[in-house]
Structure 1
Amino acid sequence: MIGSYVAVGDSFTEGVGDPGPDGSYVGWADRFAVVLADRRPEGDFKYTNLAVRGKLLDQIVADQVPRAVELAPDLVTFCAGGNDIIRPGTDPDEVAERFEDAVAKLTAAIGTVVVTTGFDTRGVPVLKHLRGKIATYNGHVRAVADRYGCPVLDLWSLKALQDRRAWGDDRLHLSPEGHTRVALRAGRLLGIDLPADPEQPWPPLPPRGTLDIRRDDVQWAREFLVPWIGRRLRGESSGDHVTAKGTLSPDDIKTWITKVA
């Protein structure tokens, strides 16, 4: 039974898109920690979230991986490389080599290391042209997982995330329901019997006209796309002045969210 868990990664694992208290975020990893803690009747479960939005693979490896090794938990989830892959000119083969070096360090010290694939971006306006590049990287991630015996949290195949309600207003980060679906998938990956299904069908949506869709696209571009491009041009990151959430109490997390299970 898992008694300690450390989450390593970027905005996805920090929980961007799933608002919590005081301007912070909850996210799938925090929700997953609640699932794990609920299965520890002793009440001695330990959870630390080291993830910070905007971080590249090398930054995650330098700042978070050594801390995860130092904490020596029963479980680490490792999601990294996505911000590298979406940058122009990056080579997914080269990024995957550095990803494997990090996995080797983690698996040498940690009992179970879960790695994650990237999302299928066919429905994301800015990122859909990178779908092939992301798929190439995912192939490397799965191969690395096979070599080191890591369970794979496969986000590409999670069809529930193809619904626009799984994504926040910025269309780059998951909504609270999207994060919940991933937490459920993570639980099932580790053999936890959960009553809720991560692939449960979404309720039908009312039809939307072309004008409504176009208006939404224009508003999204103004509020999110233009600032995102601006940060890239200035060499800035959304995580430049953000610190990791650190050690969290699952009981506190429960006060912020409706429990996953």
Structure 2
Amino acid sequence: MSSAEHVPRVLGVPRAPGLPYERYVALGDSQTEGLGDGDDATGLRGWADRLAEHLAAVNPQLQYANLAVRGRLAGQVHAEQLAPALALRPDLATVVAGVNDLMRPRFDAVEVVGHLEAMFAALTAAGARVVTVTFPDVGKIVPLARPLRPRVYALNAGIRAAAARHGVPVVETAGHAFAVDPRIWTEDRLHLSPLGHERFAAAAAQAVQLPGADDGWTRPLPPYPAVAGRRAAAAELRWIAAHLGPWLGRRLRGRSSGDGRTAKRPQLLAVSPTP
């Protein structure tokens, strides 16, 4: 992330004192669905589930719905998830989308931010506290994605401006070294690992001012041995074969990882304690 991108950790207007959150609804794509934290056979957890657990520790009466579906573009999240979210009358909502748009040839930051802002506006007008996020430098996570850096910066700037217009706190993961640490990401480098989901949930908990939440999520991880030379080149070739190739194949066929999928938790339900 460039020095021009450095901003405070959490932006936005503090929530007014009142009752704990009672209805939390998460909107988004694969990160919010929880890919990288569990699997489809045993169940996905993810940062939104983890945030719901933090919320339920404060208010055991909390109900939580997760409308996110992998592969969705920001416009699809807007078209498919906003109306169901409003129908659930949340007092807290998280809106995280835009990464899938970044990787499309015809990316338009203004269009993507427009979809996000429409969701911010509708949810806040309905009385929900909304939280969103900016994205880390993809070029430091995936070297082949360095040409996408200007897109990330433009998207982040647009998200900050739109969020400010609606009093939406912004979780700023991008300004911290841990956000591009390989241990935060799964082998595909697109989805958070369990540790990454844990860190992001802690960041969101601070954004909504949960009791006991602090900035511990910003701390760097212990030193990690760097990979260079032939080992680094070999790792890139393995990543291309295992992850980039299949992703490109789906794009060429007009397919998405989310085809035929629906939300994993479309209704508000109580949050069970984590074993």
TM-score (norm 1): 0.90
Unmatched 5+ stretches in structure 1: 256-261
Q: Displacement, 1:95?
A: 2.1
Q: Displacement, 1:105?
A: 1.6
Matched ranges for 1:207-226 at <5 A: 207-226=226-245
Give the conservation status (yes or no) of the 8 Å contact 2:95–2:116. no
Q: Matched residues in 2 for 1:137 and 1:207: separation?
A: 29
Equivalent in 45, 49, 71 of residue 62 of structure 2: 45
Shift in CA distance, 195/103, structure 1 to aligned 2, threshold 3 Å: closer
Equivalent in 90, 99, 121 of residue 73 of structure 1: 90
The range that moved more, 108-117 or 217-226, is 108-117
Identity %: 41
More strand by share: 2
Give the conservation status (yes or no) of the 8 Å contact 1:120–1:155. no
Shift in CA distance, 224/35, structure 1 to aligned 2, threshold 3 Å: same
Q: Matched residues in 2 for 1:158 and 1:12: separation?
A: 19
> Counterpart in 2 of 1:186?
204
Equivalent in 186, 210, 215 of residue 168 of structure 1: 186
Q: Is 1:14 matched with 2:18?
A: no
SS in 2 for 1:160: helix
Matched ranges for 1:66-105 at <5 A: 66-105=83-122
Q: Matched residues in 1 for 2:220 and 2:133: separation?
A: 23
Ranges of 4+ aligned residues in structure 1 off by more than 3 Å: 206-209
The CA RMSD measured in Å over matched residues stands at 1.8
Q: Deviations over 1:78-117 (max 9, x none)?
A: 1122212221122212222232222222221132011222
The range that moved more, 138-147 or 157-166, is 157-166
Shift in CA distance, 55/21, structure 1 to aligned 2, threshold 3 Å: closer
Question: 2:125 is matched by which residue type in structure 1?
Answer: A
Equivalent in 156, 177, 193 of residue 195 of structure 2: 177
Q: Matched residues in 2 for 1:57 and 1:136: separation?
A: 15
SS in 2 for 1:204: coil
Q: Is 1:27 matched with 2:15?
A: no
TM-score (norm 2): 0.86
Unmatched 5+ stretches in structure 2: 1-19
Q: Displacement, 1:118?
A: 2.2
Q: Displacement, 1:207?
A: 5.0
Q: Matched residues in 2 for 1:23 and 1:117: separation?
A: 30
Q: Matched residues in 2 for 1:116 and 1:205: separation?
A: 26
> Counterpart in 1 of 2:21?
2
Shift in CA distance, 168/73, structure 1 to aligned 2, threshold 3 Å: same
Question: 2:151 is matched by which residue type in structure 1?
Answer: K
Q: Deviations over 1:110-162 (max 9, x none)?
A: 32011222222121234321111111111111111111111112232243111
Q: Matched residues in 1 for 2:29 and 2:144: separation?
A: 19
Question: 1:36 is matched by which residue type in structure 2?
Answer: L
